[in-house]
């Protein structure tokens, strides 16, 4: 079975698939799995030779069927050293005057109000682990998944920035071609992941509580920037 992955393929393979493969293969000893990290544009269609294609954003138009999974809730964080040196932004638009780490538009919401500040990034990266390391070293403000920012080591160092404003979550969906491609092996994988992703059994929370770290089950992924 071949699984191809989204815009941050190494992170998904490292943080979700790899920790779960042992249990999956133990449950289905006759299956073989090929995971191919494959960086693609958010709206790029799955390759035909992949049984299932995981993406962080669902395409606006697709002939494929989609199964959404809970997404990762995010927040803005910086080190106390950076905040002491550069100050704390009072509004999202103040971020334009700060050193920011990340990529793409930062769409921030507070209730029904949505703001997308025109940020020119000091460091451009889509890898949350890279953003974390730079934020910890005082390089600037980063948008990080809460399961990373509030891990045992990071939460002792990082401080929330604009805590009343919430960045868009990192959503996740699986795409596959019609009923004919929803074979028993693909269905087995999708159902297996559904038991873990966004729950207390999600490997990203390291056997802790998943409460507040993920979006509600059944919340469909957004469809592009």
Q: Is 159 helix (H, G, I), strand (E, B) or coil?
A: strand
* Domain that includes residue 141, residue range: 74-167
pTM of the predicted model over 0.85: no
Phi, psi of 146 (to 5 degrees): -65, -30
The number of domains in the chain is 2
**pLDDT band at 223, cuts 50/70/90?**
very low
The residue ranking higher by pLDDT, 75 or 180, is 75
pLDDT score, position 82: 97
Answer whether residue 58 shows pLDDT above 80: no
Instruction: Establish if 104 belongs to a structural domain.
Output: yes
Same domain, 57 and 105: no
pLDDT score, position 3: 47
Instruction: Establish if 223 belongs to a structural domain.
Output: no
Answer whether residue 173 shows pLDDT above 70: yes
77-99 residue pLDDT tens:
999 999 999 999 999 999 999 99
Same domain, 125 and 147: yes
Instruction: Tell me the angle at which helices 18-27 and 184-194 cross, rounded to the nearest 10 degrees.
Output: 120
Strand ranges of the sheet holding 123-124, from the earlier edge strand across to the other edge: 123-124, 100-102, 141-145, 74-78, 159-161
| Tokens linked to 113 | 């109000």
Same domain, 46 and 11: yes
**pLDDT band at 2, cuts 50/70/90?**
very low
Instruction: Establish if 39 belongs to a structural domain.
Output: yes
Instruction: Establish if 211 belongs to a structural domain.
Output: no
């Amino acid at each position: 079975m071949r699984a191809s992955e989204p815009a941050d393929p190494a992170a998904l393979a490292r943080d979700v698939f790899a920790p779960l493969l042992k249990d999956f293969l133990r449950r289905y000893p006759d299956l073989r799995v090929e995971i191919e990290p494959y960086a693609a544009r958010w709206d790029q269609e799955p390759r035909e030779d992949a049984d299932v294609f995981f993406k962080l954003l669902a395409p606006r138009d697709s002939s494929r069927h989609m199964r959404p999974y809970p997404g990762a809730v995010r927040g803005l964080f910086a080190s106390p050293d950076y905040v002491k040196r550069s100050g704390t932004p009072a509004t999202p638009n103040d971020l334009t005057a700060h050193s920011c780490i990340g990529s793409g538009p930062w769409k921030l919401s507070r209730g029904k109000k949505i703001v997308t500040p025109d940020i020119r990034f000091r460091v451009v990266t889509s890898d949350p682990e890279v953003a974390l390391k730079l934020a910890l070293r005082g390089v600037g403000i980063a948008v990080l998944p809460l399961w990373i920012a509030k891990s045992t080591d990071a939460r002792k160092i990082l401080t929330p920035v604009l805590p009343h404003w919430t960045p868009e979550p990192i959503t996740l969906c699986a795409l596959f071609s019609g009923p004919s491609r929803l074979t028993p092996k693909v269905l087995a994988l999708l159902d297996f992941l559904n038991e873990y992703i966004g729950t207390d059994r999600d490997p990203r929370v390291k056997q802790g509580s998943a409460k507040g770290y993920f979006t509600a089950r059944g919340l469909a992924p957004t469809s592009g920037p």
